[in-house]
Amino acid sequence: MSWIAIGALAVVGFAIGLSMMVISALIRPSVPEQGKTAIYESGEVPTGTARLRFNIQYYMVALLFVVFDIETVLLFPWVLVYRPALEQGVPAMQLLAPMLIFVGILVIGLVWAWRIGAVQWVKSPRATRRKTERDAQ
């Protein structure tokens, strides 16, 4: 029975979003002009193309930041309930085990990211040469 309410909520949410997009497409003014499609650079005349290639390291660092930022957000509630739960008689291992597993998985992910070089900004030629020599042995 509760699934019907969840399904109805999903349908209503989808319908509201879709109807907003349709209504805005119907009533908005359409005045095509060259200025609307121009690149905006703080009032300066744009030079070059807007298609720039960014180093993938920026995205990797951003993704790692999001993962570990969410980790800290998940750690705060656990810390807040830890002491009261111990005082109510919950065994310490029952409280620690899930969080240790969670942090362990994140540490494994960090070690993996570190080993593949996802957290290195610049790869030095000497470090690359050493890694190549290590792999060759």
Q: Which pLDDT score, from 0 to 100, does residue 82 have?
A: 86
Residue where the block lists tokens 């060759």: 136
* Threshold 0.75, pTM exceeds: no
Distance CA 123, CA 34 (A): 43
What structural domains and CATH numbers belong to the chain? Answer: 8-121 (1.20.58)
Q: Which pLDDT score, from 0 to 100, does residue 40 have?
A: 67
Low-confidence ranges of the chain (pLDDT < 50): none
Residue where the block lists tokens 């919950």: 90
Q: Which pLDDT score, from 0 to 100, does residue 8 have?
A: 93
Q: Which pLDDT score, from 0 to 100, does residue 12 have?
A: 96
Instruction: Specify the DSSP class assigned to residue 41.
Output: B
Residue type, position 8, single letter: A
Q: Which pLDDT score, from 0 to 100, does residue 108 have?
A: 92
Q: Which pLDDT score, from 0 to 100, does residue 39 have?
A: 67
Outline where the chain has alpha helix (H).
Answer: 2-27, 34-37, 56-87, 92-116, 125-136
Chain centre to alpha carbon of residue 90: 34
Q: Which pLDDT score, from 0 to 100, does residue 123 have?
A: 63
